[in-house]
Structure 1
Amino acid sequence: MEKNATARESALLQVLSDPGKTYRPLFFRVYNQEDQKLLQQLQQTVKDLEVHDQILSQLHEYVKICYLTKLNTGEDPAPFIAEVLGTHTPETYGVWVYYPWSKKLVHLLDEEAFVALRTSRNTYKITPEEREVLRSKKIGVIGLSVGQAIAQTLAMERVCGALHLADFDSIELSNMNRLNVGVQDIGLNKAILAARKIAELDPFLDVLCFTEGITEDNLEAFFLENGKIDILVEECDGIDVKISSRLKARSLGIPVVMDTNDRGMLDVERFDLEPERPIFHGSIDEGMDTAKLKGLTNEEKIVILGKIFDLSKISDRMKMSLGEMRKTINAWPQLASSVALGGAMVTDTCRRILLSEIHNSGRYYIDFNDLIK
């Protein structure tokens, strides 16, 4: 590396030399001379680079929402596209985005136009004014199994402008009954994979990964780095983290939302509005030593989880499954349909909390066995 290399050159060289744990794309605005030079360097270095340039298609779509009342059906959009381009050519307009993990270079509208077009079909279920409010919000997700569907749906609907994702675990083949992953992803950290999928959907969302999961050393950073998160979505397996993260959220006045993947059960704890509210609706002793909760056996976990979730209210099939733990199955059963439902429920709830549409804490069920018979 040259001694006079710029910070961006150094970042490019670092990504090119070690893309394995990278989850953030690189941006090149080639109307800028430095970016043009860096993009040329990228193109010369990555021999099997895959280029995707559909900027004209995006511009055609974009002028339809910008000139809705002026552009008649069947009318040539070229004059309106020229107006949007201004002094740029199609080649220099917008931004080129490089995804190191797939070696794909994609030509996109730049952030403001991209967000406006990508979310245009949300309007007016989410108004333009609400969209801007949500862009300023940050959501933290702990646990990227069920949490992957939630993070992806939050990003798809653009309920926030930034995400913190935490998970120490990696993709296994048995995860693929419910996670939207491919066989080539086995062994990849779950948080990194979720971040990559989000970047491929919307590279302008700001995502920060905590690939060691939540620990005593990074708990503060997860909640506060680059500004406090506005909602905690907790979807992890560790009871110690379930408790410690809620205690931290309560101390910071951050609401917690959790989907439990059985009977469509959703928990909402509004620590932002109820700073003295007991965690888990008062179902457990908050004075438990969380350090002693690490590494519990499934049998030991069930005792505590029984208090948290009220085993009398879980589904009959889940009750049967718990009785088979360590006999015929070795992990909690989960279904893709339930995970997808959780993504929808949590996203909708988070959006309405952030827009001050709901204010209550509580436990709620959307149980298809009760609703559809």
Structure 2
Amino acid sequence: MIQDYLRQQVESKDYQPVFYDLKNAQDLHTFEALLKSRPYIRINDEIYSQLRELMKIRNPTKRLTAAEYDEKVQAYLDGVEIEKFGVWVYYPWNNQVVHLVNEADFIELRTSRNQHKITAAEIAVLSKKKIGIVGLSVGQSIALTLVMERLCGELRLADFDRLELTNMNRIRCGVHNLQVPKVVIAAREIAELDPFIKVKIYEDGMTEANMDDFFTAGGVLDIFIEECDGVDIKILSRIKAKELKIPVVMEMNDRGMIDIERFDLEPERPLMHGLIPEVDIPTLRGLTDAEKLPIFSPMLALDNASARMKFSLGEIGKTITTWPQLASSVVLGGALVADTCRRIALDQFKNSGRYYVDFEQLIV
């Protein structure tokens, strides 16, 4: 009986929220039909608290009374029923509906505590940036940090892998996501953090067939973040980024090493600082992790890796199956890459090179 029930369950790959503007008659009708057909949907309607907070941040010099808050909120509604103000956002994968202010107000609220470390003018610039990420282990932490800080208006995510229990030592998600594509997991969490950020996913990962689309469809990327394990894609994606003059950022997940290639400012710069060996791309496909190491070593400066990483690399195929990654390093990588991308996007950082934020050297 249990097996029969389980066979009926098909994991949805929905990752895009659905918006309803109840001032629109068709949206109102569709929304009411949704709630009627799915009475188990959970509803979060805290629109008044959002509007109250909006009035608070717009009046920083005065402590408003409850009556003053209500007066300003009612004036802002300008006769619109509060139920129909803003948008209702439906998340089909978890059967939740959330009532939110409109996009402009949402961004104002979401970024209010960034100021003045990020100015209003900078927030406006960042909201138009397009960032692509390949590889959703370190890449997931990077994506979520970019979204929390709201450093872009569009993200493109590529990863062919599905979540395994072994991945959960560094990927933030619940066990109910086992065997869900990593890109879907990341895209859903992004939508729950900020449904107004555009997300496009590539469930087959980055391939030679979809690379042009990833880099250019809907506008050329402003920054490319490479966190994949495939040697061929590491090289081919850099060739494409160089051709399109897109800066490339990579975090190594060891010793806090971040690698930056400013092909936008240095179009003749050699790939990966000249450390990519002369290899035949077709021969790189399908290599095991152990077979990749001689090629990875100069590219990723593995001679400068931490002692424990070096030891672990020698144990691949013996006592472990792949290289280790720690949650603390992944979270650090998310912060390092997000901070670097913000400064690149705002033209505050112009260098290429490799940099280390090595806790074992800094905190002794």
**TM-score range relative to shorter protein:** over 0.9
Shift in Å at residue 44 of structure 1? 1.8
Please report how far the alpha carbon of residue 311 of structure 1 lies from its aligned counterpart in structure 2 after TM superposition: 2.4
Does the residue aligned with 1:76 lie in a helix, a strand or coil? helix
For each residue in 1:6-30, what CA deviation from the matched residue of structure 2 results, as whole angstroms up to 9, or x when unmatched? xxxxxxxxxxxx9811110000010
Give the corresponding residue for 2:264.
272
1:127 maps to a residue whose letter is: T
What's 1:348 paired with? 339
Name the structure 1 match of 2:4. Answer: none
> What residue identity is the alignment partner of 1:261?
N
Note the C-alpha offset of 1:350: 0.1
> Which position in structure 2 is the counterpart of 1:232?
224
Aligned to 1:20: 12
Q: Tell me the secondary structure at the aligned position of residue 77 of structure 1.
A: helix
Residue aligned with 2:341, SS? helix
CA distance in 2, matches of 1:227, 1:104: 32
Alpha-carbon offset, residue 283 of structure 1? 0.7
Asked if structure 2 preserves the Cα contact closer than 8 Å seen for 1:19 and 1:100, the reply is: no
- How far off is 1:104 after superposition? 0.4
Which residue of structure 1 lines up, in the alignment, with residue 156 of structure 2? 164
CA distance in 2, matches of 1:362, 1:177: 29
| Superposed displacement of residue 47, structure 1 | 3.1
Deviation at 1:97, TM superposition (A): 0.1
Percentage identity across aligned positions?
Answer: 52
Q: Secondary structure at the match of 1:195?
A: helix
**What is the CA distance between 1:284 and its match in structure 2?**
1.8
Taking structure 2 as the reference length, the TM-score comes to 0.95
Distance 1:82 1:289 in 2: 67
Helix, strand or coil: the match of 1:27?
Answer: strand
Q: SS where residue 146 of structure 2 aligns?
A: helix
Q: CA deviation at 1:67?
A: 2.9
Name which of 237, 244, 250 aligns with 2:236.
Answer: 244
| Pairwise CA distance, 1:81 | 0.3
Partner Cα distance (1:227, 1:314) in 2: 37
List aligned pairs for 1:97-116, cutoff 5 A: 97-116=89-108
Q: Give the equivalent residue in structure 1 for 2:306.
A: 315
Query: What's the counterpart of residue 77 of structure 1?
Result: 69
2:353 equivalent to 1:362: yes
Cα distance in 2, alignment partners of residues 216 and 44 from structure 1: 45
Alignment partner for residue 219 of structure 1, among 196, 199, 211?
A: 211
Q: Distance in 1 between matches of 2:229 and 2:300?
A: 13
Partner of 2:116: 124
Is the 1:137–1:230 Cα contact (8 Å) retained in structure 2? yes
Contact 2:90 2:96 in 1 (8 A): yes
Please give the TM-score of this superposition, normalised by the length of structure 1: 0.93
SS in structure 2 of the partner of residue 272 of structure 1: coil
1:7-66 C-alpha deviation (Å, 9 max, x unpaired): xxxxxxxxxxx9811110000010111110110121122231111111111111111112
**Equivalent residues of 1:265, 1:366 under 8 A apart:** yes
**What do residues 259-313 of structure 1 show as CA deviations (whole Å, max 9, x unaligned)?**
010000000000000111111110123x532222111122221101111122221
Which of 276, 286, 289 matches 1:295?
286
- Measured in 2, the distance between the counterparts of 1:217 and 1:233 equals 19
Paired letter, 1:276: E
**Whole-angstrom CA distance in 2 between matches of 1:165 and 1:241:** 14
Counting matched residue pairs gives 355
2:69 alignment partner AA: P
1:75 deviates by 5.8
**TM-superposed deviation, 1:107:** 0.3
Task: Identify unmatched segments of 5+ residues in structure 2.
Answer: 1-9
**Counterpart AA for 2:231:** I
CA contact (8 A) 2:134 2:228 kept: yes
Question: Structure 2 residue aligned with 1:256, among 229, 244, 248?
Answer: 248
Aligned counterparts of 1:339 and 1:173: Cα–Cα separation in 2: 17
> Is structure 2 residue 152 aligned with structure 1 residue 152?
no
Residue 186 of structure 2: aligned partner: 194
Alpha carbons of 1:227 and 1:86: their partners in 2 closer, same or farther (altered >3 Å)?
A: same
Report the residue type matching 2:12 in the other structure: G
Distance 1:339 1:178 in 2: 7
Taking the aligned partners of 1:80 and 1:310, their CA distance within structure 2 comes to 58
User: Following the alignment from structure 2 to structure 1, what is the Cα–Cα distance between the partners of residues 144 and 323?
Assistant: 22
Distance in structure 2 (CA, Å) of the matches to 1:127 and 1:225: 29
Letter in 1 for 2:352: S
How far apart, CA to CA, are the structure 1 residues paired with 2:42 and 2:282?
48
How many angstroms apart in 1 are the aligned matches of 2:101 and 2:362?
A: 43
Q: 1:35 aligned to 23, 27, 32, which one?
A: 27
Q: Contact 1:267/1:363 (CA < 8 Å) preserved in 2?
A: yes
Partner of 1:9: none
* Residue 71 of structure 1: how far off its partner (Å): 5.2
